[in-house]
Structure 1
Amino acid sequence: MAVNENGMTIVNGNQKRNPQLDDVITVMGEASALAQNLKQVITSPIRFFQTDQKMYIKSEGKLCLGILKIGRKNLFHRDLNGVIKEIQPMCVLDFYVHESVQRKGIGKELFEEMLRQETLRPEKLGYDRPSPKLLGFLKKYYNLQNYIPQNNNYVVYSQYFFDNRPTNVSQQQFAQQNHQQSQNPQLVNQQVQQQRVQPQQTPQKMDQLDQMMQQMSLDSKQQYQSYQKGKAQPPWATDQKQYQNMYQTTTGMMSAQIHKR
C-alpha cells in the first residue's frame, strides 16, 4: 500500500476495492473484535466500502501494525438533566493495534495522524463502545475522562459541548491581534502609537454645526428685516441700532466658532 511521509495509508470507503486490501481489513477487523471481546466483527470490507467512512492504516513493509476507522454519526445525547440533544460528531468506530507491537507509540501515531488530517481535537470526537484501553489512552494523553454514559454506548466527553475558540469575525481579529502581539510586541506598540497620534475626524459633526450656524444667521436676518418693515411701530418697539448690533455680534460669534473648528 502507498504510504505518506508518516508511514500511513488513508483509505476512503467510497474508493475501489482490491483483494489485497480486503484481506488486510478482514484480518485486522477480526483481530480487533477478538481483542475487544465484541460479539460481532465491526470492521470488514462489506461494512466499510461504499460508505462515507475513512480508515487510517499504519504499516511497515508488508506488515500491518494498526488501524483506525472513523465516520460521522447522528447521535442523540442525554445530559444530566434528562435533556436530549441531537449531535453529528465525527466518531472513532474502531481502533486497534496488533498485540505484537503495542506499547510502542503506534496507537498515538495513528490517532495524531487522524487528528491532523481531519483538523479535529480529541474532545470533539465521539467514541463507539470504547474499550478500557482506549479510555485509558484518552485520559493519559488528552486528559479526557468526564462523560455521561448513554444507551447507545457512544462516549461523548463533556468538553464536546464547550468551545472557547473564536466564533465570529471580531473575535477572530482579536485572537489574531493577540497572536501578533505575542510574536512581535514592538511592532504592535508602534501601530498603537500611530493610531493615537492621528487626529479624529468628525466630518458629520462639522456638517451639523455648519447647518446650525447657517440657520442661526438666517433667523437673525429675518428678525432684522421684520424690524425694518415695522419701524413705524409704537415707541416701545426695540431700537433699530440694537437689532443691528445683535445681528453683527451673532454673526461674528458664529464666524469665530467655525474658524476655530
Structure 2
Amino acid sequence: MPRSWALAAILVLAAGAAGAHALKVCIPSNPFPPISFPDHEGQGQWLVRKAVERQGGTVSYEAVPWPRCVKGVQTGDYDAAIPPTVTLAASIALPMRDEKTVDDAKALGNTNMVVLRRLGSKPGWDGRAFSGLSTPVIFNRGIVSIRDKLAALGVAGDEGAQPNESMLQKLLRGRGELLIMNGNAALVELAEAEYAGKLEILPEPFIVMTGHLGFNKSYYLANRAFVEAVWSGIARLRNSAEWQSVAPGLAK
C-alpha cells in the first residue's frame, strides 16, 4: 500500500474513533427494579447498552442519589439518565411522539410504586384517596411524580430520606404512617427478617411510573440522529425474541 494511502486509512480510522459515542449515564443509587440496579445490570440498563452498542457507541453507568442524577443531566455532568418520567420532560429530553406527548413505545418499562404501612395500623390507600392519615407520607427524595400526585391530593409528603433502608426504618419506628416506594424493591425488603411480619404492602399501587432514557437537552440537540436511533433501537429490542429470553433474568 502506498504511504499516502496508509496515512489516509489511519486518518479515517482515527476520525471514526473520535466520532464514536461514549455515553455517560447516571442511575439511582437505590435499586429500582426491574429497570436499574446499582451493582448489576437491570432491564433498562441492558436495553440502553444494547441500543447504544448497535449504534457503535459505549455506555458507562454511575449510581448516585436520584436528585443528583436529575440535576447532573440537566447541567450536563451526565449525558443521560435512567429512568426519567414524563414529569421531567420540560428539563430533560425524552422520546416524543409529537410536540406534547412522550412516546411510551420507546420507554424502558413500567414500575409500580406501592404504599406500605406497619402491620395492623389503620391508615390506608384505596387507589384513589388516603384514609386515617395524620402524618406526611414518606417517599424517596426527588421523585417528582410522587411529589406532584401527593400535592394534587392535598397530602403532605416527607422526602427527607433517600435510601430505601432509611425510609423503611422511619416507617418501622413510627416516624410516619405510610411509605411509598418501588414495589419490586419493597417485596425484597419485606422478605428480610428485620421487616417480615412487621410491614405490609397495600393492594392498590399509588402510581405506575413509565421510565425512559432521558438526555441532557444540549447533548440531544448536538447528537439528535444518534439519540433518536438509540430510542428507536430500545423499542425494537423490547419487541425482539432476545428480549423475551433475557428480560426475566434482568428483573432482579
Bucket of the pairwise TM-score, normalised by the shorter protein? under 0.3
TM-score (norm 1): 0.22
Q: Give 1 or 2 for the bigger CA radius of gyration.
A: 1
Higher helix proportion: 1
